[in-house]
Amino acid sequence: MSRPATVALNVLQRCFTILVLAGLSSGAVTADTRSLDTAFGPLEISGQPKRIVTLYEGALDTALAVGAHTVGAVITRGGNHVADYIKPAAGNINIVGTPGETNIEAVLAAQPDLILAAPRTSEQQYRLLSRLAPVVVPDIPMFEADTWKRETRLFARAMGRADQAEQVIEQVEARIAEVASLVRERIPADQRNATLIRWMPQGPLVMAEGLFSAAIIQATGFRPNSKGLIKPGRPHSEPLSLENLSGLDQNWMFLATLNADGDKALAAARKSPAFARLNAVQANQVIAVSGQLWTSASGPLAALAILDDIEAAVLALQP
């Protein structure tokens, strides 16, 4: 079985496990009315929404993790459907746009009773979507270590599934502790410096330390470092040359590509002497990962899939 297929199967199994645990511990969801603080003011939601449209990858991840019925989602960056790691759990979900452009007609056709939107949704878009259903836009600082937890709790509360959110967050935290223990056992403290790179046709991008996956890396004991190449508030650097990339060489490199174009660009770069001189390359500690998962996704199921990748990389070390 291929690595993407294995990751996707793991996600599907975890969704099932989370739902069983949630059903055993919390029983039926109460039809309460709750007030949420959102980017466009307080929002009241009653009961448990039945048809949820997600316009943000982290919202889809959360909805599936807590067992909500999701009827629409946007495609992942660089793809033509939802991310591979979550596709089995999402099933035959309706596509209602891209991360940068929502198809309002497709959202309307999905007949949502709740819309979970991206943090950077404009007010104009919010007002338009609000004519269709209540819209939750997070008012949570981006690129912080706990951003994903706060978003998970917000989205889950909107769906009337706060208890399930706490259960899956606890599951992620327990898995972080497991992988962190393995990292401490296998890798000396002075050899855990790392960088997260997304390889694009125009060149490699260094991803910010506060990015979701970088925060997961750091939680397991690695030390991601972008060497000041990223402007404040930005998720990644400008495209770099191979010479500039060598200036932030680390012991470990988590190397992501989004699609076939990125794969081709990386294959060409690997033939370069500058690439071959990188410490991580010489130590055979360049870890190829999915850009859809590592540099686009967020949420509890994504965290669990990333932790699987980190564990596999550490276990592959020669004793």
Backbone phi, then psi, for 101, in 5-degree steps?
-150, 120
Domains of the chain as residue ranges with CATH: 3-167 (3.40.50.1980), 187-315 (3.40.50.1980)
Apex CA 257: angle with CA 306 and CA 191, to 5°? Answer: 55
Q: How far is CA 134 from the centre of its chain?
A: 24
SS (H, E, C) 149-216: HHHHHHHHHHCCCHHHHHHHHHHHHHHHHHHHHHHHHHCCHHHCEEEEEEEECCEEEEECCCCHHHHH
One-character DSSP codes across 206-249: EBPTTSHHHHHHHHTT-EE--TT-S-TT-SB-----HHHHHTT-
Say if residues 74 and 96 touch (Cβ distance below 8 Å).
Answer: yes
Q: Is the pTM of this model over 0.75?
A: yes
Structure tokens at 267: 């294959």
Give the pLDDT score at 7.
54
Q: Amino acid letter at 189?
A: A
Give the pLDDT score at 259.
80
- Would you give per-residue pLDDT tens digits along the chain (319 residues)? 555 545 555 655 665 555 444 444 444 444 588 999 999 999 999 989 999 999 999 999 999 999 999 999 999 988 899 999 999 999 999 999 999 899 999 999 999 999 999 999 999 999 999 999 999 999 999 888 899 999 999 999 999 999 999 999 999 999 999 999 999 999 999 999 998 988 888 888 888 888 899 999 999 999 988 777 777 778 888 888 877 777 677 899 998 888 877 788 888 888 888 888 888 888 889 898 999 999 999 999 999 999 999 999 999 986 6
Say if residues 106 and 8 touch (Cβ distance below 8 Å).
Answer: no
Distance CA 124, CA 105 (A): 16
Structure tokens at 47: 């009961």
